[in-house]
């Protein structure tokens, strides 16, 4: 008999405003399924990100069908899983865990989620020279997506030089030497002046981490700006970018398309991305969809 009830959750920090529960539960309702989506916020539990393994094991023991994983646990969770899908293994980051026969299997839907959103929202921009801020779990996925979409070169900028260097080295191994380089934030002025676009993949701008990731004066009209943060949709970075005439992409589309792929993994059902885009537009304010 096909399963028609699912228990899933999200592990991360500061996830109270997350729209994932509503996205998954609404689509499940439309498909005649019952989905309970629970937030497992490490801040509210009073534990650090190193507790992610215990939380995954507890969820499995409690009968969860799967989990989404977000900042700051996407890389830390890997050692606690039984198996990794090829995409997650290549990235070294997991944002979706499926429990199957007692085994915890890690997947990454951020790559396809960002790629689908970018192709839809910024279809005609130049990808010759791209600067990316952030080399964490989301950053790894987004960098892979940008190069898969055809970027000529990506410079990864992170406050932790070793992390940026490791990601750039991995990108060069995967896509070919010379496709990626690492830099520190003090180089941003020169980098953005020569770049076609910038992808922001750090927590700065989230409801729990307000602010700009770099000085607004570094923005210029020839630059497109793509955001990963979607809580809120209109981050300070996007407001500043619009003000100087940049083409922009908010994080809402990525949030939906990664959820589309996660829903498919959890349920085996095909979700309707158009309905889910309408959901996030209603829940979080207008997502600009071409």
Give catalytic residues, as residue numbers. Answer: 74
The three-state secondary structure class of 27 is helix
Beta bridge partners of 12: 41
What letters, b where the CB count within 10 A reaches 16 and e where it falls short, cover 194-204?
ebbbbbbbbbb
271 touches 126 (CB < 8 A): no
Backbone dihedral angles phi then psi of residue 210, each to the nearest 5 degrees: -65, 160
The three-state secondary structure class of 258 is helix
Cα separation, 88 vs 93, in Å, equals 6
Name, in order, each residue with C-beta under 8 angstroms of 185's C-beta and a sequence gap of 6 or more. Answer: 133, 157, 158, 159, 214
Beta bridge partners of 98: 66, 105
Cα separation, 125 vs 128, in Å, equals 9
The three-state secondary structure class of 84 is strand
H/E stretch holding 104: strand 103-107
Cα 179 → chain centroid:
21
């Amino acid at each position: 008999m096909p399963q028609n009830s699912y228990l899933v959750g999200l592990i991360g920090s500061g996830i109270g405003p997350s729209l994932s529960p509503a996205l998954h539960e609404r689509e499940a309702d439309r498909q005649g399924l019952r989905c309970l989506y629970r937030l497992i916020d490490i801040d509210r539990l009073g534990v650090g990100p190193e507790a992610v393994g215990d939380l995954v094991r507890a969820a499995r023991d409690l009968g969860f069908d799967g989990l989404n994983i977000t900042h700051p646990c996407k890389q830390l969770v890997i050692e606690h899983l039984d198996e990794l899908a090829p995409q997650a293994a290549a990235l070294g980051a997991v944002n979706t865990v499926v429990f199957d026969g007692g085994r915890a299997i890690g997947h990454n839907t951020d790559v396809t989620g960002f790629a689908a959103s970018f192709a839809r929202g910024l279809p005609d921009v130049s990808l010759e020279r791209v600067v990316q801020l952030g080399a964490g779990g989301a950053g790894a996925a987004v960098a892979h997506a940008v190069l898969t979409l055809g970027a000529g070169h990506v410079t990864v900028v992170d406050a932790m030089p070793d992390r940026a260097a490791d990601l750039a080295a991995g990108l060069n191994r995967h896509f070919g030497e010379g496709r990626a380089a690492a830099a520190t934030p003090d180089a941003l002025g020169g980098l953005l002046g020569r770049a076609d676009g910038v992808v922001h993949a750090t927590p700065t701008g989230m409801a729990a981490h307000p602010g700009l990731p770099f000085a607004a004066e570094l923005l210029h009209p020839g630059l497109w700006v793509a955001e990963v943060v979607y809580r809120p949709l209109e981050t300070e970075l996007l407001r500043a970018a619009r003000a100087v005439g940049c083409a922009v992409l908010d994080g809402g589309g990525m949030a939906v398309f990664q959820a589309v792929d996660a829903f498919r993994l959890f349920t085996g059902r095909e979700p309707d991305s158009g309905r889910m885009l309408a959901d996030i537009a209603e829940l979080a304010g207008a997502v600009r969809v071409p």
